[in-house]
Amino acid sequence: MLACCRKDGICPVTTGGLSRLANITIEQAEDALRVLSSPDKDTLTQEHEGRRIERVDSGWKLLNWDKYREQARKQILREQNRAAQARYRDRVEEYIPDQEEAGNGHPKQQWVPTPEQLRLGKLFKRRETTPWSEKEIKAWKLITPVAEEDMDCLENYYRAKIPDASNFRRRDLGTLLNNFSGELDRARKFKNPSYF
């Protein structure tokens, strides 16, 4: 009955239809419907006097439908959250474990940047040994791979002398990574002297 229930908690089946769905005889289906629609004092929940279903015009109403629906919704949300966390860990995993342990029983993480990451870090005077934050790594994963000509274009734009009134360049690496495509468009337009 739960499997063929509508969103409003009504199961629109006849006794014969239910017996065919459950692969039981009509007499067994009638007995089951009688038991489920009768009060039950030996149940953990005494809501509706322990009844599970009641007869309505268009079939059977599942009295605990909202409870089952909420449980299913929570299970779906848990599964979606688990999958999202797994995707996040896969995208952010940029560190390579070192052989040493960090003192808490976990392997020590070592920052191993790509050449493109080093080039972008230099634009903001980052040391090569300074690891990126998780947010920066996450943003980087979303924009990679970056073409060589795009890197050259960005470097030319960020190294150029631009008057303060016209300088709309990003001030830190995280902001650049989060707005990468827009900043790359500006860098491409910068080749044109009429841009400023």
- The predicted pLDDT at position 95 comes to 47
The answer for residues whose C-beta is within 8 angstroms of residue 14's C-beta and 6 or more apart is 59
* C-alpha separations of 73 from 76, 77, 104, 142 in Å: 5, 6, 37, 30
Instruction: Cite the DSSP H helix spans in 51-111.
Output: 65-92
- The predicted pLDDT at position 85 comes to 85
- The predicted pLDDT at position 27 comes to 93
Q: Is the peptide bond before 107 cis (omega within 30 degrees of 0)?
A: no
154 is written with which tokens?
């960005």
- The predicted pLDDT at position 106 comes to 54
The helix (H) or strand (E) run that includes residue 154 is helix 148-159
In this structure, the number of other CB atoms found within 10 A of the CB of residue 19 comes to: 19
- The predicted pLDDT at position 97 comes to 45
Chunked mean pLDDT (size 10), the chain, 196 residues:
84 88 91 86 73 86 84 88 82 51 56 89 90 90 89 90 85 91 88 49
- The predicted pLDDT at position 93 comes to 61
Name the residue among 86, 136, 132, 90 with its Cα closest to residue 113: 132
- The predicted pLDDT at position 109 comes to 60
The helix (H) or strand (E) run that includes residue 62 is strand 59-62
Residue ranges of the domains in the chain? 1-86, 113-195
d(CA 185, CA 170): 13
Domain 1-86 architecture: Orthogonal Bundle (1.10)
CB contact at 8 A, 128 and 110: no
DSSP state of 47: G
Residue where the block lists tokens 């509508």: 6
